[in-house]
Amino acid sequence: MASLVGSRVERKEDKRFLTGKGRYTADINLANQTYAIFVRSPHARASIKKLNIDKALKSSGVVSILTGKEIADDKIGGLIAGWAIRSEDGTEMKCPGNPPLAKDNVNFVGDPVAVVIAESLAEAKEAAEKVEVDYKVLKAVTSTADAMNGDTIHEGIDKNLCFDWLLGDRQKVKEAFDKADKVISIDIINNRLIPNAMEPRACVADYNAASEEITLYTTSQNPHLSRLIMSAFGNVAPEHKLRVVAPDVGGGFGSKINVYNEDIVCSWAAKKINRAIKWVAERSESFLTDIHGRDHVTHAELAVTKDGKFLGFKNETIANLGAYARVFGTVTPTYLFGPCATGVYEIPAAYTNVKAVYTNTAPVDAYRGAGRPEATYTIERLVEKASMELGIDKTELRIKNFPTAFPFKQTLVHTVDSGDYVAGMEKAKQMADYKGFEARRKESEAKGKLRGIGVTSYFEACGIAPSAAVMSLGCGVGLWESAEVRFNPTGQVTVYTGSHSHGQSHQTTFAQIAADELGVPIENIDIVHGDTDKGTFGMGTYGSRSLAVGGIAIVNACKKIVEKGKRVTAKMLEANPEDVEFKDGEFIVSKSNKKKTIGEVAFACYLPGVRDEMKSPLPEGDEPGLKETSFYDPSNFSFPAGTHIAEVEIDPETGHVKLEKYTACDDFGRIINPMVVEGQVHGGLAQGIGQALYENAEYDETGQLMTGSYMDYTMPRADNFPEFNIGYTCTHATTNPLGVKGCGEAGAIAAPPTVMNAVIDALGGQEVTMPATAEKVWKACKNLKKSNAKAA
Amino acid sequence: MGKISLEVNGRKVEKEASDNTLLSTFLREHLQLTGTHIGCDTSQCGACVVNVDGNSLKSCTALAADVNGSKVTTIEGLETNGKMHPMQEAFKKLHGLQCGFCTPGMVMSAVDLLQKNKKPSDTEIRDWLEGNICRCTGYQNIVAAVKEAATKM
């Protein structure tokens, strides 16, 4: 039987999506359901003086209106930060309360203050207009860089500072800098982004008075984690009385990790009114209230010798948390950022200091790459600048500082098990025709255009897992993953996974893995996820962890099935279990022609007896049935890496940047389905290039979101991209049995510095902030003309 | 309220709807054709594209009453006798979709392109799909799928 792992298997999930039969949360309608509209603060910072619902209550079709007072009276808990981070001085981080409905203060535009529940959506909207809120408007804090000098947003949190965190050794870094021939320094802004999954958030909550159970259908990347948080911290219902279902989910990119206000409010309210409640975000609500990403202001320095060896690295960053710290809000700018900021290089001394600040903007949390794009942008912009200042070729300078052996003990935290960064660089250069660039630059110049080339070498720590490691760093839960493999008596297999697919193709790739492990045709394998009443438990999908953690749990559960199958076969065929081998779905007694198929073994496990004989196929100690579970907790993160190369052409007359070529050469370890991996790379690149050239979330000084719709926030479109040139080097991970590493975030991590390095190269080294819009680039072109004229 | 009569996916339908009902809402809420998706509120994303009397249309830009009497095809109506349309097949073969949310609008828009331009170039495909936003695929496999479908239609 040919192995399915490594094959371009077409997706099992596609037919339903292509024929309009997907079932997303907004497609769900329950009998006798009501509709919710949230009344949201129009101010970035205000205290609520008075909230009057009298008029709204009299509006047609209104079922109930609930406010911050009722939710507080019912002792429903608020939203939480999932990671506890300590400051350099040892003090714990400072987090404000974040009630699901604000009672006394609002802290960003969109902060909900009340929910209106009515018989129809139109009636709910009309009544919501009649809720009167008297606000005392206060001065908003919106700037990341100046947040520590602004008014105190949350009582008791001085300087709006959540924590002042340090990773690394300042003294060692000082000593390294003292020895340096040259110090390269850079000031950069990692622009704020809005994830913009195409499916707006939604939820449908239902209460069953007979079983006293709440069911919440919601757009989540991790339904079990949502249930845990809503139960343990939200006090919505005990876990066994709360079912969370995340059906088809239309993209997440990190924005659907969090439990949101609406999930808690609708679940709580459904029980209160004893009816189902449906809420679907309008896109403008998504812009205002989905978590945002990035938003760092960084000063970084690299100490080098004159022949280009890196000696030391320092990174001083202010990270914007927005109004509240949410699930991955505090880890994203710390442990997902700091360790990766030294990049793929041997740097003897390094530190990263992060001051995380509150502002009156939407909460900032994990968005595709989460911390690692910011880290990679910092080091790779710095390295590119070093290559310009030292006059050393940008690829040679990188190679000179790559680790020479693996495992590679990275400067700050990680031990990278495997990789070959030089091979990745060489292959990328070949794919991109790096040698031919100067000729292409001349061709562009002949047309009056400026051409630049940019390089990035990255690694990232993903497969976010090892429980002991993450919990030691402050994570509130262990990040293992579970799988359950159930054989039916007639031979089909259902695999329950705690990972969640919202585009990642688990229904196919996980089935490929199980098919290979069990020797069962892929058509007979179903992958089930996204329902807390079905799978045992799961930590969900983010941080490129589905395959490297969830996939391995499936492998391990399958291996347990095979072990039991060997014992049963031995009993059935009167052989020693040690003599039974398993291959391609058959249990074979070695050196004999005796064998049983896995289907026969499954059947025997469920029907363990024979007519007219007192005989069981089950060995002593084995129970009937064929079902195994695995809770897999890896020993390490996984470390994808690669080199990307971009070429841009700039029209100095208009400032328009055209991305001419984009080459990505990645090492994801073993690849399960090349077609799916290509798709993940393409999508990540589009988001990364979007950050570099198009996307930017902007608030004005009063805290109004200036980019609150697709008319203002530039989403990349089909005509913004060239055809991507992608390739791989594959060094297998040594820390898991499949040798896999993860591929979901690579594009979003590597593309921003790759593209910006190319833009800045074309502009003769002039710094431009992301996104490199035509206006900014046009101004830089004018400066370039001036300085060229002066030089002449 | 008024009576809306349409031929949707070859079937005559007649429903009462308030005058301000958008075609997208009418399809989703009145006919339970939830394959047509709503991804924005500014007619930018294209997830709601359907075909009305031979042309693709963002169904959130039209009132149901405005297209009264029209022939409408939605993503649910593209199959013939349980066999997927060549565009649907091509999207599947070339991984032109991931989360599936933008897909119905993307496919409906692409089908209309090939009705109007049988052999579009890469640039023409990318220009045509400018009104359909996809956040997952980076568009490359969508472009490839449209080209593939062009060889089969």
Query: DSSP 3-state helix, strand, coil percentages of chain B (rounded to 5)?
Result: 40, 20, 40
The amino acid at A551: G
Residues 6+ apart with CB under 8 A from A370: A254, A293, A328, A332, A336, A542, A543, A745
> Pick from A19, A197, A678: which is nearest to B76 by CB?
A19
- Give every CB contact of residue A466 below 8 A, 6+ residues apart in sequence: A479, A633, A634, A635, A636, A637
Distance from CA of A11 to the nearest CA of B (A): 7
**What is the reported pTM?**
0.97
Strand partners, A168: A351
> For B2, phi and psi rounded to 5 degrees?
-150, 170
Positive or negative, the CA dihedral A92, A96, A97, A100 is negative
Residues on chain A touching B92 (C-beta within 8 angstroms):
10-11, 14-15, 18
Q: Do A710 and B45 touch (CB under 8 A)?
A: yes
Average pLDDT, integer, range A28-55: 98
Provide the percentage of residues in chain A whose pLDDT is more than 90: 96
Cβ contact, residue pair B42, A747, below 8 Å: no
DSSP output for A654-688: TTEEEEEEEEEEEE-BS-S-HHHHHHHHHHHHHHH
Shortest distance between the Cα of A501 and any Cα of chain B, in A, equals 8
pLDDT of residue A787: 85
Using CA coordinates, name the residue in chain B closest to A504. B98
Class at the top of the CATH hierarchy for domain B2-77: alpha beta
Position A2 pLDDT exceeds 80: no
Closest-CA distance, B8 to chain A, in angstroms, reads: 14
Q: What is the C-alpha separation between A725 and A427, in angstroms, rounded?
A: 12
pLDDT of residue B82: 92
Mean pLDDT of A42-60: 98
Confidence band, pLDDT 50/70/90 cuts, at residue A36: very high
The CATH fold of domain B86-152:
DNA polymerase; domain 1 (1.10.150)
pLDDT digits (tens, 9 = 90+) for B24-33: 999 999 999 9
Please report residues of A whose CB lies closer than 8 A to that of B123: 719
Strands A34-40 and A112-118: antiparallel
- Inter-axis angle of helices B103-116 and B86-93, nearest 10: 120
Ramachandran bin of A194, using left for φ above 0, alpha for ψ from -120 to 50, beta for the remaining angles: beta
Q: 3-class DSSP state for residue A730?
A: coil
pLDDT at B1: 87
Q: B62: distance to nearest CA of chain A, Å?
A: 18
Looking at residue A201, the DSSP 8-state letter turns out to be P
Helix A261-273 × helix A223-232 angle, to 10° = 70
Does residue A112 have a cis peptide bond before it, meaning omega lies within 30 degrees of 0?
Answer: no
Helices (H), chain B: 23-25, 86-93, 103-116, 122-128, 140-152
Q: What is the separation, in whole angstroms, between the first and last Cα of chain B? A: 41
Render A544-586 in DSSP notation, one character per residue.
T-IIIIIIHHHHHHHHHHHHHHHHHHHHHTT--GGGEEEETTE
Find the farthest-apart pair of alpha carbons in chain B and give their distance in angstroms, rounded: 46
The phi and psi torsions of A203 (rounded to 5 degrees) equal -155, 150
What's A296-464+636-791's CATH class?
Answer: alpha beta
* Residues of A in Cβ contact (< 8 Å) with B40: 283, 709-710
Q: Which of B38, B135, B140 sits opposite A251 (nearest CB)?
A: B135
Residue A661 has pLDDT above 70, yes or no: yes
Cβ <8 Å between A199 and B130 = no
Distance of CA A626 to the CA centre of its chain: 35
Task: Give the per-residue SS3 of A504-547.
Answer: CCHHHHHHHHHHHHHCCCHHHEEEECCECCCCCCCCCCCCCCHH
| Whether B35 and A678 lie within 8 Å, measured CB to CB | no
Judge whether residue A792 has pLDDT over 80.
Answer: no
Identify each DSSP E strand in A410-533 by its residue range.
415-416, 450-459, 481-487, 493-497, 525-528
The DSSP secondary structure of A204-246, one letter per residue, reads EEEEETTTTEEEEEE--S-HHHHHHHHHHTT-SS-GGGEEEE-
- Calculate how close chain B gets to A258, using CA atoms only, in Å: 19
3-state SS class at A279: strand
Judge: B102–A686 Cβ closer than 8 Å, yes or no.
no
Which of A282, A276, A269 has its CA nearest to residue A65?
A: A269
- Closest residue in B to A249 (Cα–Cα): B99
Structure tokens at A755: 């593209």
CB A341 within 8 A of CB A315: yes
Shortest alpha-carbon distance between residue B140 and chain A (Å): 6
User: Which residues of A fall within a CB distance of 8 Å from B122?
Assistant: 723
Beta-carbon contacts of A614 under 8 Å, excluding residues fewer than 6 positions away, are none
Site from A8, A193, A707, A717 to mutate, B interface, most B CB atoms within 10 angstroms: A717
Band (pLDDT 50/70/90 cuts) for residue B74 is very high
> Which of A273, A260, A258 has its CA nearest to residue A116?
A273
Interface test with A, best of B44, B101, B134, B147 (most A CBs within 10 A): B101
* Mutation target vs B (from A9, A14, A126, A506; most B CBs, 10 A cutoff): A14
Q: What is the DSSP letter of A158?
A: G
Which of A153, A102, A139, A106 lies closest to A357 in space, CA to CA?
A: A153
- Tell me whether the CATH fold assigned to A296-464+636-791 matches the one assigned to A481-632: yes
- Pick the closest to residue A104 from A43, A155, A48 (CA basis): A48
Report residue A790's pLDDT band, with 50, 70 and 90 as the boundaries.
Answer: confident
pLDDT digits (tens, 9 = 90+) for A338-372: 999 999 999 999 999 999 999 999 999 999 999 99
Among the partner residues B103, B127, B140, nearest to A17 by beta-carbon distance: B103
Q: How far is A21 from chain B (nearest CA, A)?
A: 6
pLDDT at A1: 64
Judged by CB atoms closer than 8 Å, whether chains meet at B84 and A15 is answered as yes
What is the pLDDT of chain A when averaged over all its residues?
Answer: 97
Mutate to test the interface with A, among B30, B75, B98 (most CBs of A within 10 A): B98
SS3 assignment, position A315:
strand
- A445 phi/psi in degrees, rounded to 5: -60, -40
Which residues in chain B touch residue A198, judged by CB atoms under 8 angstroms apart? 37, 39, 45, 47, 99, 101-102, 133-136
ipTM score for this prediction: 0.98
Structural domain boundaries in chain A: 31-138+205-278, 296-464+636-791, 481-632
A658: left (phi over 0), alpha (psi -120 to 50) or beta: beta
- Tens digits of residue pLDDT in A124-167: 999 999 999 999 999 999 999 999 999 999 999 999 999 999 99
Alpha-carbon torsion angle A294, A299, A303, A304, nearest 10: 70
Q: Using DSSP bridges, classify how beta strands B71-73 and B2-8 pair: parallel, antiparallel or unpaired.
A: parallel
pLDDT at A214: 98
Q: Which residues contact B46 (CB under 8 A, 6 or more apart)?
A: B39, B58, B102, B105, B106, B109, B131, B132, B133
Residue whose C-alpha is closest to residue A108's, from A40, A192, A44, A194: A44
Tell whether the model's pLDDT for residue A433 goes beyond 90.
Answer: yes
Q: Give the domain A31-138+205-278 fold.
A: Aldehyde Oxidoreductase; domain 3 (3.90.1170)
Give the mean model confidence (pLDDT) for residues A113-132. 98
> Mean of the pLDDT values across residues A97-106?
97
Q: Which amino acid is at A18?
A: L
The domain spans of chain B are 2-77, 86-152
| Nearest C-alpha in B relative to A674 | B95
Domain covering A481-632, topology: Aldehyde Oxidoreductase; domain 4 (3.30.365)
